[in-house]
Copies of this chain bind each other. A is one copy, B any other.
C-alpha cells in the first residue's frame, strides 16, 4: 500500500497554481506602489517578488546540479512588465527542472544555498510556503491601498 500524501506531479500542479495566483497579485499593483509602497519598515512587494524569483528556480537548479552556491535577491527588474516577464520566463523552466527530480531524491537531504540543510521535499515546500507567505503580505498592501486582491481560490 502506498503511503503517499501526494504524488510528484500533484505537488508541481499545486505549486504552479500558487504561482499563477501570485502573478495575478503582482498585476493588481499600480506600477508606482509595487516599487514604493511598504508597511512597518517591510520591503516593497517588488522586493518580495524578487526574493521569490531568486529562490525557487535557482534553488531547484541547484538541487538538480547538486550545487550549493548562495543566492542574491538583488535582481535588475525595474518595472511591473519586467517583473512579470521574469515570472513568466521562470514558469516553464521550473516545470522542466522539477521533472528532472527522481522520486527517490525527495527524502534525501540537500544543503539549500549552502545554508539550509533539509530533505529535498522540505526545500520544495519552503519555496511554496515562502511564496504564500510573501504574497499574503502583498494582499495586506493591496487592502491598505484600497485595492481588492485576487480571490485566494483563483489559480
Q: Which residues of A contact B (CB under 8 A)?
A: 1-11, 14, 18, 39-42, 103-104, 106-107, 119, 121-122, 124-125, 129-130, 132-137, 139-146, 152
**A140 contact set on B, CB distance < 8 A:** 39-40, 42, 137, 140-141
On whether the beta carbons of A11 and B2 are closer than 8 Å, the reply is no
The answer for the CA separation of A83 and B14 in the assembled complex, in Å, is: 31
Checking B5, B42, B106, B152 against A121 with a beta-carbon cut-off of 8 angstroms, the contacting residue is B5
Q: A130-B152, A133-B139 are in contact. List 17 more A-B contacts (CB 8 A).
A: A1-B104, A2-B4, A2-B104, A3-B7, A4-B7, A5-B7, A5-B11, A5-B124, A6-B121, A6-B125, A14-B125, A39-B140, A40-B140, A40-B144, A133-B135, A136-B137, A140-B141
Q: Is the interface of A mostly helix, strand, loop or mixed?
A: helix
Do residues A143 and B40 form an inter-chain contact, with CB atoms below 8 A? yes
Residue contact B8 to A3, C-beta cutoff 8 Å: yes
- In the assembled complex, which residues on chain B have CB atoms less than 8 Å from the CB atom of A106? 4-6
Shortest CB–CB separation between residue A9 and chain B, in angstroms? 8
Q: List chain B residues, Cβ under 8 A from A107.
A: 6, 10
A136 to B104, alpha carbons, bound, how many Å?
Answer: 32
Contact of A103 among B2, B8, B135, B146 (CB under 8 A): B2
